[in-house]
């Protein structure tokens, strides 16, 4: 089994080489097919390796298996860490027409890509993308380092050398209350912050303006 996994990992690295990803992006004008959807990848944060992984169908494959196995059609969904919207599109497609999908993404460039990918694929019904960060520090905003890829963005300290912006912040419980979300399924992929978002103490709810579609 270890040899098989090692071979698979080597093949994945080879077919997702940056040169291959750049060629795919140029050929498809940064609109990459992914599981039946077209995902926009025009942001500087979408590296060539990610474009190749989308094209070969191995991008966030574990998350997709989770969605396909566990997401119920009759529950609203809250997604933390929507990124470029690939998994978001699959979630919306799986849900019943009247169920709501609330997706949170701190990086404004990635949140915009997710919105455009949902629009391009006709998946905007009952979907809201929030360009917010999940935080339990009690402040109305956080300093967010954009990073240089879809997975390196993070809440930053004042000494961060990366490009840093202020992003509105709220707790998960505040988002649920302000959006009037009842029973729901949670999909969370926020690069190591999952535990804090689900175990942190609730804060007073504050208004959450959303990009509603």
Query: In the prediction, which pLDDT does 97 show?
Result: 93
- Distance between CA atoms of residues 126 and 128, nearest Å: 7
Average pLDDT, the chain: 87
Instruction: Please state, in angstroms and as integers, the Cα–Cα distance from residue 76 to each residue in 1, 103, 120, 125, 149, following that order.
Output: 38, 11, 22, 12, 29
Q: Please say whether the beta carbons of 132 and 169 come within 8 A.
A: yes
* pLDDT, mean of residues 7-30: 94
Crossing angle between the packed helical segments 61-70 and 86-94, to the nearest 10 degrees: 10
| Full-model pTM | 0.86
Smallest Cα–Cα separation from 120: which of 44, 191, 37, 64? 37
Query: In the prediction, which pLDDT does 152 show?
Result: 86
Domains and CATH numbers, the chain: 60-212 (3.40.50)
- Collapsing DSSP states into helix, strand and coil, what is residue 3? helix
Which has more confidence, 152 or 108?
A: 108
Which residues of 68-175 form beta strands (DSSP E)?
Answer: 76-80, 101-104, 127-130, 133-134, 141-145, 154-155, 164-170
């Amino acid at each position: 089994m270890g040899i098989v996994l090692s071979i698979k990992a080597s093949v994945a690295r080879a077919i997702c080489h940056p040169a291959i990803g750049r060629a795919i992006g140029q050929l498809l004008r940064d609109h990459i097919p992914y599981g039946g959807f077209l995902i926009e990848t025009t942001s500087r944060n979408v590296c060539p390796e990610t474009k190749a992984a989308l094209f070969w169908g191995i991008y966030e494959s574990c998350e997709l298996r989770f969605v396909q196995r566990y997401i119920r059609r009759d529950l609203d969904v809250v997604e933390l860490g929507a990124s470029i919207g690939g998994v978001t599109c699959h979630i919306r497609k799986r849900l019943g027409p009247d169920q709501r999908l609330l997706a949170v993404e701190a990086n404004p460039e990635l949140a915009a890509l997710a919105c455009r990918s949902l629009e391009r694929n006709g998946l905007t019904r009952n979907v809201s993308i929030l360009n917010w960060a999940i935080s339990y520090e009690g402040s109305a905003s956080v300093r967010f380092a954009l990073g240089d890829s879809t997975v390196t963005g993070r809440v930053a300290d004042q000494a961060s050398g990366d490009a840093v912006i202020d992003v509105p912040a709220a707790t998960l419980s505040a988002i649920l209350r302000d959006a009037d979300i009842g029973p729901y399924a949670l999909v969370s992929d926020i690069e190591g912050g999952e535990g804090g978002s689900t175990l942190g103490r609730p804060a007073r709810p504050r208004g959450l303006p959303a990009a509603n579609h």
